[in-house]
Amino acid sequence: MRDKVVAGVDFSSSKENPNETWLVVGRLSNLGFEILEVKKTGSHVLSKDLDAHKTLSALGVDCPFSLPVAFLNFLASKKIKKGYQSWQEVVEELVFIPFDEFAALAKEFGKEPKRVTDTIGGAALNSPMKRVNPAMLHLTYHGMRTLASLDPSRYFILPFQDPIPFGCAVIEVQPKETLKYLGITDVSYVSKDKHDENEAEAHRDKLVQNLMKVKERKALTLKEIPALIIQKSFLHNFRHSDRAINALVSCYTTAMYSAVPEHFDDPFSADSLEVLLEGWVFRAK
């Protein structure tokens, strides 16, 4: 296998902008998948951080890449358009809509529909339109705008855009879907308040250890999945932040996709052209 450098990103769903963003970068080789960098950064400098990795071949981002077609049709009618023909048209529209206006339009729409990818195969992901518990609307809005800021000569966003020779594929990932696939059911690493932070840290330590051991525990069923290698100097990041954990799992998911893409559902397996506007969560099968 030719060595590949891939990355994973987790955005905060907080209303602050730029918001807290975690970046994890690793190298995929015949030895496995080794983490090279763990960094707490911001959405406003993410592109610069990514550009520091000149050979980056794939990037997994933990946020919805687009919106449900039902809302996009509503948005087009409000903007006096016949409809959006491509994701590029959608994000170009979004760049010029302030968040307050976008939130007002979402409230006027009055529904929180899901995309095809959010429910396919028994999945139960949150709608990108969800306003509270969790607040997905803000995450989706700023995530899409961040994607739109990536250099189009280097990055191609799947499934919306065609691959670029020697470019970097950008895919939407969902950490909890990956953990479920790997058989890791304890997802109690998110602390709800300061009182249970110590308990959450213990769960994070255990989860990371389970991730690093999953290859040996399931050697037969996951024989093509790369082993995860994390140096001790990085472990404190994951112990203290659930966001860092999400970025790690996003990165590992992207490494899995790079190593064995045939183990992931194809966007067009849904037999729906809506995915070309709504996007697709790349999940292992």
What is the spatial distance between Cα 80 and Cα 214, in angstroms, rounded to a whole number? 52
pLDDT tens digits, one per residue of 14-27: 666 667 899 999 99
pLDDT on residue 171: 98
pLDDT of amino acid 275: 95
Could you read off the pLDDT of 230-266 as tens digits, one per residue? 999 999 999 999 999 999 999 999 999 999 999 999 9
User: What percentage of the chain carries pLDDT values higher than 70?
Assistant: 94
Both structure tokens of 125: 């992901």
Dihedral of CA atoms 200, 20, 141, 24 in degrees, nearest 10, equals -80
List the domains of the chain with CATH numbers: 4-65+148-263 (3.30.420), 69-147 (no CATH)
pLDDT digits (tens, 9 = 90+) for 142-162: 999 999 999 999 999 999 999
Single pTM value for the model:
0.94
Radius of gyration of the CA atoms of the chain, in A: 18
Give me the phi and psi of 33, to 5 degrees please. -125, 110
Task: Give the span between the Cα atoms of 204 and 218, in whole angstroms.
Answer: 20
Q: How confident is the model at residue 282 (pLDDT cuts 50, 70, 90)?
A: very high
Q: Which amino acid is at 170?
A: V
Residue 144: count of CB within 10 angstroms of its CB: 22
Q: What is the pairing mode between strands 155-157 and 168-172?
A: parallel
pLDDT tens track for 34-57: 999 999 998 888 999 999 999 999
For residue 191, what pLDDT band results from cuts at 50, 70 and 90?
low
